[in-house]
């Protein structure tokens, strides 16, 4: 008698609502598209209303469900209000972030405060707002932080950025421990350098480009599509037992 074969858990996200910050450009566009293509209703958020509306319109043009929401993630009260004004989000992708690379010896308190506010504080409190709603409605959920390979290693001229991403990696673990009993999973995606409008100026320096490619074992920079499958996986039932994890999409950078 043939054994009954197990069925692969679904990667589909039909019936779920997702919030993607930093959704107006770069990785945010790819993340929003991936979730919509998997069936989620996606709310694309950023400070620029025109940009996120254009992304939402493009998703709708392909038959997906999407809307735009303009707010500044560093305005904690405004971000909480934006979450409270919407139906529950089952999925949150904290993608908004930034960097101001430079020598450690020349770092300023102003740059430090800006970077930590955007990369850490905003993600902390937006996650809190989404999780509070999930707990109140006794609903499971998936919170995904876009971290970095720099959350696992150090690098010259990136002391503040490394500090912020190491903080995110620790936050993911702590949130996973605390929210796990509530059915809320928390994970990170830690990519290597991805070709986006934000990173393009760095790679106009041939020495920096050569040094970077020398550390990526697969020999190429990342592209936005490299993250799309990972986001869907961590948002879906296919990763039902995954929490407190960091999925490194780094081409082997951190393998040695």
**Catalytic residue annotation:** 161, 165
Order of strands across the sheet that contains 141-146: 65-70, 41-46, 17-21, 91-94, 141-146, 184-191, 246-249
Find the helix packing angle between 159-179 and 122-136, rounded to 10°.
10
Query: What is the spatial distance between Cα 58 and Cα 66, in angstroms, rounded to a whole number?
Result: 9
Q: Looking at the DSSP assignment, which residues form a beta bridge with residue 70?
A: 46
Q: Does residue 142 contact residue 130 with C-beta atoms inside 8 Å?
A: no
Task: Give the dihedral sign, CA 37/38/42/47.
Answer: negative
């Amino acid at each position: 008698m043939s054994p009954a074969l197990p069925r692969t858990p679904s990667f589909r996200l039909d019936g779920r609502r997702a919030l993607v910050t930093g959704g107006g450009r770069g990785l945010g566009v790819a993340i929003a598209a991936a979730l919509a293509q998997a069936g989620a209703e996606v709310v694309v958020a950023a400070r620029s209303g025109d940009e996120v509306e254009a992304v939402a319109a493009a998703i709708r043009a392909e038959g997906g469900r999407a809307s735009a929401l303009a707010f500044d993630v560093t305005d904690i009260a405004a971000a909480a209000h934006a979450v409270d004004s919407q139906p529950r989000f089952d999925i949150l992708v904290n993608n908004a972030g930034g960097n101001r690379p430079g020598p450690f010896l020349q770092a300023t308190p102003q740059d430090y405060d800006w970077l930590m506010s955007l990369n850490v504080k905003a993600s902390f409190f937006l996650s809190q707002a989404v999780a509070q709603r999930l707990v109140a409605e006794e609903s499971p959920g998936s919170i995904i932080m876009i971290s970095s390979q720099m959350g696992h290693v150090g690098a010259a001229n990136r002391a503040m950025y490394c500090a912020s991403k190491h903080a995110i990696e620790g936050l993911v673990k702590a949130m996973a421990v605390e929210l796990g009993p509530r059915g809320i999973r928390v994970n990170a995606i830690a990519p290597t350098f991805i070709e986006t409008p934000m990173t393009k100026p760095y790679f106009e320096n041939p020495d920096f480009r050569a040094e970077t490619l020398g550390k990526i074992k697969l020999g190429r920079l990342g592209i936005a599509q490299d993250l799309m499958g990972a986001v869907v996986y961590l948002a879906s039932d296919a990763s039902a037992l995954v929490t407190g994890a960091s999925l490194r999409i780094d081409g082997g950078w951190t393998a040695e």
